[in-house]
Structures are given as C-alpha cells and as structure tokens.
A and B are shown apart, each in its own frame.
Chain A
C-alpha cells in the first residue's frame, strides 16, 4: 500500500480522487481551499470521471449537491467556517431529503471577529442540522474517515461531514498510509441511489404541512438512531481489511482511570502524550477521543465514563447557553441518568486558533486530581489560555 507524506487537505483530496464521485460542487474557502483546488487538478488531468461544478458560493455548492444527489449521483463537496454557515439553510434540506452527501470540512472559527484559524464553532453550529458529524485527529484519520463516510452515509441515507482542524491538520504534513485505488473502490462499492429523478417520476421536496411534517422528522431522527451501529460496523470492516481502528470514539487508558479527559480533533494527540507522562507518575488518567458528535454516542459513553470519578472536557467552541461548550453539555446530559455520576468540569480552549500545549493540558489534569481529592467542582466552566 502506498505511503505518502500528505497534509490533511491533501489526504482528503486524495480520498475524494479515489472515491471518484459522480459530482463535486464546491467553492474555495480558507483553510479548505486546497481540497477544492487539488480536486480541480484531478479533474483537469482526467484522474476522475467527476462532473466538477465550480459554483459561485457555498450556498449554490450545497444546492447543486442536493440537486445532483436527487438525480442519482454520488456527491461530495468541501467547505469550512463561513462557507458551512452559508450552507446552513440547506444542510437541513439535505438531511430532510435524506441525500447522502459527504462534506470534507475543515474546522475554522466563525466571524465576528473574522479569523481563519481553528476552533469547532462552525461544525458545532450545525450540529442540529441532521448531518452525521465525525472529527478526525490527523491526516491519516481524515483520509480513512472520508472513505468510511461514503459507506456510512449511503447506508443510513443521511448526509455526513468529516472534519479536520484548520491548519493544525489541514496544512500539516504527515505520513499517510493510503489504500490502492482499487481497494477503495472495492471498499465503498458501486453507488445505487435510493431514489432518482431519472429513474422514476417522483416529486422531491414538496410542501409538508401539519399532517405529515412531524412524521417525516421522526423518520430522520430514527435514521440518526440507526447511525451509531453503522459507524461501528463500517469501522470494523475497515479495521479488518486495513488494520486501523475507528468507531464512535476511542477510549485510551480509560479502563481503570479515575479521571478521563474528553476531547475531539487534533488536541487528542497532544493529550495522549500528557496522559502517558502522567501515567508514568502513577496518575490514573485516560483519554476519550470523540469521533462522533452526531449522533452523540450517549449510551456507550455512559458505560465507559460513569466508572470514572471526574470527566474533564476540552471544548474548542462555546455554547451561548452559558453552561459551557457543546461537548460538555451533551456529556452532562448523557450522564444524568447514569447509575453513578462522575464529577464534570469543562475547559473552553483554543478559540480563534489559539494554541494549547502539553503544559496547559498537564495543568488541567493536575487540577483534576485536586478536584477528585476535594470531591468538589468549584468552577464547572473555565477558560484555558485566556488573558483574564
């Protein structure tokens, strides 16, 4: 299998090339632009059969994707930040129409103030749109998860976004084990649309009023319920074929851990090193890396996390509920009816691309040890790396 040095963007673009979708409609935006421009070069060089629609906005990108999907095509696009926000209205439409569209997303913060760097505000801002949302930690994961996304999305008929962290993953070069083109095609299989304008005389997107809207929304919720086992099934198939493990989340040294740090995206790599260092000092600490934000794996997380004494959440975005970040809020809710409640503390970090380092995470972990000793959380929501 080919080994390449690739950035996160290159890894996603390569995955798209190997998937060879029927239609890609996309618009450039920092820091996801490279995905689009690399794919354009694949089209220009005849490496793919894709019809590439160079739309005039992200809104039209996702509209064209929905149209193409309705016409029976396998469809992908890529975006970030303001682009995802501009798509917002149509994200709901794609999910409601049950269009299995894949977005290669790069997590970048949202204006204002304008800023091109990493946080998870964009993705988290669309977490109720009906899309499956999966976070990648590095370029390898971005590549592997993009391939899995096709299968997951097409089985449950919900759209999906795989996201990487702006610049930290999107622009950093890493070793990526790629599959052969033929292996990718064999893994994803040929596409057969659930419905298509060219196959049957159907009406897509009618006006759905009081008599039926609720039932159709319920179907969508059911599809999301069915997605968690499909994510695991596809991950197992991927692992058995290619040896790399995925799923709803990764539990790292959590078995006997008194404190579990929960994070998603690139920060998990840094956190893992901190965990290893602290373990050497005899501290019982683990990491839970969240792949799936939607569906939120609340049932399984309850099993894994309720054994710990403290859950320390690292949130790279905020919720204006003033109750902490979205991961913290979800977890708190998930653990509410757990047989045993661990303590919970949330650290908001890295907004607008501010770096977080090992010292800061070590400090958070050690503060956690104190919380366990005191059996008390003084301040449930705190900020890391912020000038007070």
Chain B
C-alpha cells in the first residue's frame, strides 16, 4: 500500500474513520483456534462479554452465531469460561 504524502493527510494526526482498526486483522497472531459446538451452546454470551478481541459474533436476537477468526488471537478465555464446554481450543494449523 502506498502511504500518503504529508500534503494529503488530515492535519493534527486526526483519524477520521472510526473503528477502522477492523481493517487490521489480528487473527494471524493465533497459535490456538477456538472450535464452537453450536449444539452445546446455550447462548449465555459469557464468551461475548469476556472476549478481549470482539470476536464473538452475536446476532440481533442475542444469539451467538460463531467466532470471528479475523481478530481472534486464540487466548482461550471463551473456552475456559464456557459453562457448557461448547468451545474448545485446538492447535492452529496454517
């Protein structure tokens, strides 16, 4: 990606695109991958409230729909905190 010249950048180091960190995928940091078992999931959303990387996808009805591997760093908190063992961690293979 060609970086902007000083003449093109907004002044004052202001970032004008809110939430554009989404463009930066941290998923490749992962050495362990969470595997979600939708059968066991009771949609308690504990994984959602404890996920540091906003990687638990929740729909309008408040149901968990999966894990966003673009950002998940594989910390394993979700698997650790899941009361139903609906998430487990596996070694990441690429």
Contacts and interface: CB of A to CB of B under 8 A. Distances in A.
A157 B13 contact: no
The 9 closest A-B pairs by CB, nearest first: A215-B6, A98-B12, A203-B15, A201-B18, A218-B6, A97-B12, A216-B13, A98-B11, A202-B14
B59 interface: no
Nearest to B5: A215
B12 A157 contact: yes
B15 to A, nearest CB: 4
Contact of B12 (A194, A200, A222): A194
B9 interface: yes
A216 B15 contact: no
Given A194-B12, A195-B14, A212-B13, 5 more contacts: A200-B16, A202-B18, A212-B9, A215-B6, A216-B9
B7 to A, nearest CB: 8
Interface of A: 96-99, 157, 194-195, 200-206, 208, 211-212, 214-216, 218-219, 222-223
A96 B12 CA distance: 6
A208 B13 contact: yes
A157 B9 CA distance: 15
Contacts of A202: 14-16, 18
14 contacts: A157-B12, A195-B12, A201-B18, A204-B14, A206-B13, A208-B13, A212-B9, A212-B13, A215-B3, A215-B9, A216-B6, A216-B13, A218-B6, A222-B6
> Is the contact region of chain A dominated by helix, strand, or loop, or is it mixed?
loop
B88 to A, nearest CB: 35
Interface in B5-54: 5-6, 9, 11-16, 18
Contacts of A96: 12-13
Nearest to B18: A201
Contacts of B5: 215
Interface residues of B, number: 12
Contact of A219 (B11, B15, B16): B11
A261 B34 CA distance: 76
Nearest to A223: B11
A194 to B, nearest CB: 7
A219 B14 CA distance: 13
A137 B35 CA distance: 74
Nearest to A201: B18
Contacts of B18: 201-203
A370 to B, nearest CB: 50
Contacts of A212: 3, 9, 13
Contacts of A223: 11
A195 B11 CA distance: 10
B23 to A, nearest CB: 14
A205 B16 contact: no
B9 A219 contact: yes
B19 to A, nearest CB: 8
Contact of A215 (B4, B12, B14): B4
B15 A211 contact: no
B33 to A, nearest CB: 29
B6 A203 contact: no
A99 B14 CA distance: 12
Contact of B6 (A99, A157, A219): A219
A203 B15 CA distance: 5
A157 B6 CA distance: 16
